[in-house]
Amino acid sequence: MAPALQEGGQDERGRIHGDLHRENVIALPGGGIGVIDFDDCGEGHFLIDIATVFSSVHRIARTKPGTYEEFARAFLTGYTQVRPLPADFARLLEPYLLLRDAFILNFVTAAAPVNAVVASWGPGRIAGSVANMQAYVEGRPYPGTLTCDQS
């Protein structure tokens, strides 16, 4: 996985949000959306933000067949109107989804002892992330990965 995370040229890296999950996107009065919570903002590969969005939506949409895939296609359509997808997007998405779950494991284990809200949802999230990682080690696609015909 490490070599995949090191791939990409300067045109695939830049300012990223770093935590672009659904709770950090808000509806604006009069229409449109806004993004909040920029404390993880920094320089990085654009796939970090894409994988974070996908991971966040996959957790809630996976139970209704086709919903996640429909969202992902619509998201990518909008994304590519602003910026092209990184080279080898389909191949690199999976390692970045795995990286996102690793970020979550780190966050939950650090925050749960001192944050009651995280302690309430953290154990379930850890169990889900570990199950995702275990399935990946066993050779199954990482949850949220898109096939070429889906992207």
**Structure confidence at residue 88 (pLDDT):** 85
pLDDT band at 2 (very low <50, low <70, confident <90, very high): low
pLDDT at 113 over 90: yes
pLDDT at 103 over 90: yes
* Choice among 6-10, 49-53, 56-60, 121-125 with the minimum mean pLDDT: 6-10
**Structure confidence at residue 63 (pLDDT):** 85
Over 110-137, what HEC string results?
Answer: HHCCCCHHHHHHHHHHHHHHHHHHHHHH
At position 118, the amino acid (one-letter code) is V
**Structure confidence at residue 128 (pLDDT):** 92
Residue 10 has what DSSP assignment?
A: G
pLDDT at 151 over 60: no
pLDDT at 5 over 80: no
**Structure confidence at residue 139 (pLDDT):** 92
Residue 104 near residue 129 (C-beta atoms within 8 A): yes
Higher-scoring residue by pLDDT: 53, 10: 53
**Structure confidence at residue 8 (pLDDT):** 65
Please tell me the pTM assigned to this model: 0.86
| DSSP per-residue codes, 44-63 | EETHHHHHHHHHHHHHHHTT
Mean pLDDT for 93-121 is 94
